């Protein structure tokens, strides 16, 4: 996210079933416009893609990643990003992730700078552990998939204008 007056906000989510079927959503907004574009895709990963994913999720660094603890909001930064993943591990769900931001001089006494150092270190180590998974996701996200009719754009109107 870049929340400056001409920045962008984006987000992507994917839910993948064990058999490779998935539901992918991407969202994009160019500020200051209130228009949000949403694309929704559903398809099935091929055996190679699924095997790569399983291998990354099975990596010891991912298995050992600490449980994700997000930042305290509001945060005093305009540029930030994050990754979270919920991974099925038998009868439990492992929640991992990280938060990243561009530091703003003079805001050291506000979140996320005031986040305890131990949590910031968890974010750093999780970012390293999840880098291959994030790269894989961006590959999948960039492929051509069948788009659902529910894809659309919305525009939020300001009632005062």
The tokens describing 156, both together, are 């939020």
156: pLDDT strictly greater than 80 = no
- Which range (41-50, 55-64, 75-84, 104-113) has the least confidence? 104-113
User: Sign of torsion, CA 53 59 63 64?
Assistant: negative
Give the helix/strand (H/E) hosting 127: helix 117-141
pLDDT (mean) for 74-90: 95
The pLDDT-based confidence of 160 (bands split at 50, 70, 90) is: very low
Give residue 153's pLDDT. Answer: 65
Q: How far is CA 134 from the centre of its chain?
A: 9
pTM, 2 dp: 0.87
pLDDT value of position 161: 41
Exposure string over 50-76, b if 16+ CB within 10 A, otherwise e: bebbeebbeeeebeebbebeebeeebb
Pairing of strands 21-30, 35-44: antiparallel
Is residue 86 within 8 Å of 49, Cβ to Cβ? no
Segment holding 92, helix H or strand E: strand 92-101
pLDDT score recorded for residue 103? 84
Q: What is the mean pLDDT of residues 129-133?
A: 98
Token digits of residue 75? 């945060």
Pairing, β 35-44 against β 152-155 = antiparallel
pLDDT value at 157 more than 60: no
Reported as a single tens digit per residue, the pLDDT across 135-155 is 999 999 999 999 998 777 666
pLDDT confidence bin for 108, thresholds 50/70/90: confident
- pLDDT score of 151: 77
Q: How many CB atoms lie within 10 A of CB 157?
A: 7
């Amino acid at each position: 996210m870049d929340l400056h007056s001409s920045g962008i906000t984006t987000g992507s989510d994917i839910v993948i079933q064990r058999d490779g079927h998935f539901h992918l959503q991407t969202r994009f907004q160019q500020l200051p416009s209130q228009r949000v574009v949403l694309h929704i895709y559903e398809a099935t990963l091929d055996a190679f893609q699924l095997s790569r994913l399983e291998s990354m999720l099975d990596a010891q660094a991912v298995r050992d990643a600490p449980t994700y603890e997000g930042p305290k909001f509001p945060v005093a930064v305009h540029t930030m990003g994050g990754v979270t993943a919920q991974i099925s591990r038998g009868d439990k769900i492992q929640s991992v992730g990280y938060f990243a931001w561009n530091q703003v001089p003079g805001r050291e006494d506000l979140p996320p700078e005031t986040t305890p150092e131990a949590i910031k270190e968890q974010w750093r180590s999780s970012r390293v552990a999840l880098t291959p998974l994030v790269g894989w996701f961006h590959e999948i996200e960039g492929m051509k998939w069948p788009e659902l009719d529910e894809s659309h754009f919305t525009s939020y109107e300001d009632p005062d204008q």
